[in-house]
Amino acid sequence: MKMNNETKIGLMVTVVIILLAVLTIKTGKFNLLTKGYMIKARFENVDGVNLNSPVMFNGFEVGIVEDIKIRDYRGDVRMEVILWVNENARLREGSKAYIKNLGFMGEKYIGLTSGKKGGVYLAPGSVIMGQEPPNFEHLLSEGQEIARRLKSISINLDERLETNKDVLDETLSNLNLTMKDLASIVSNANQRLTTNEKKIDDTVTNLHSLSVNLEELSYDLKVNPWKIMYRGKGKQKNDSEE
């Protein structure tokens, strides 16, 4: 069967429309082929997170960012991120949300933790609190401030060293002489100890013997106190005879 040009164009347009519909369903906000539920996460700052940003559950992609709204809770302004999550990603009580990068310079995504082990499953529409992403501009600013202070300290230290160069050199020289004197004293002391090693050993031995004798004498006098009286009387008798 031969087709005319109008029929060919119609078929081509139909195919293009079908492909566009499939891509829209796959990459857009339409989740017609997979069942899921909505969950809300509240942040103070969602810098870098956009609609249709991926949602990860323990590192596995399970949904997208459906919507982002600004909420005022009694003067406390919060960003409420509405997430569409695959029904297989069951969140429990204690689950948290956080914002991270897909790679070093990649797009932002919302990460979810499963929550407490054995906890109650969260119902659709539940609210979980988000952990704030690091503020790289603030970190960069603090890093620059630290670098500035380190540079200032380095300059001041260099100036002090240059100003007191002569004093430091003299101090180091004196310290070197002192160390040499100490080494000489230690060497002399070591020589004296080596030369008089036998005398020192004899002295220690005699002191030990004296200590033993004194201990024996003390014990003997405690056991026989009459010996003191006996010696005293003997001395008195000698004095009277004289």
Decide: 39 and 83 in contact? Cβ < 8 Å.
yes
Across residues 57-79, what is the average pLDDT? 87
CA distance 57 to 100: 12
Q: Name 227's Cβ contacts closer than 8 Å, sequence gap at least 6.
A: 220, 221
Residues 100, 66, 110: CA angle, nearest 5 degrees: 10
**pTM metric for this prediction:** 0.47
Q: What pairs with residue 37 in β-bridges?
A: 85
Q: Mean pLDDT throughout 154-160? A: 88
Check residue 137 and give its pLDDT.
62
What's the average model confidence in pLDDT over 81-92? 90
Averaged over 218-233, what is the pLDDT? 70
Give me 117's structure tokens.
């082990």
Angle 67-72-73 from CA coordinates, rounded to 5°: 115
In tens, the pLDDT along 100-134 reads 887 666 678 898 988 888 888 989 999 998 887 66
Residues 164-178: pLDDT tens digits? 888 888 888 899 989
Mean pLDDT is lowest, of 15-29, 163-177, 196-210, for 15-29
Rounded distance, CA 89 to CA 112, Å? Answer: 9
Supply the mean pLDDT for the chain. 81
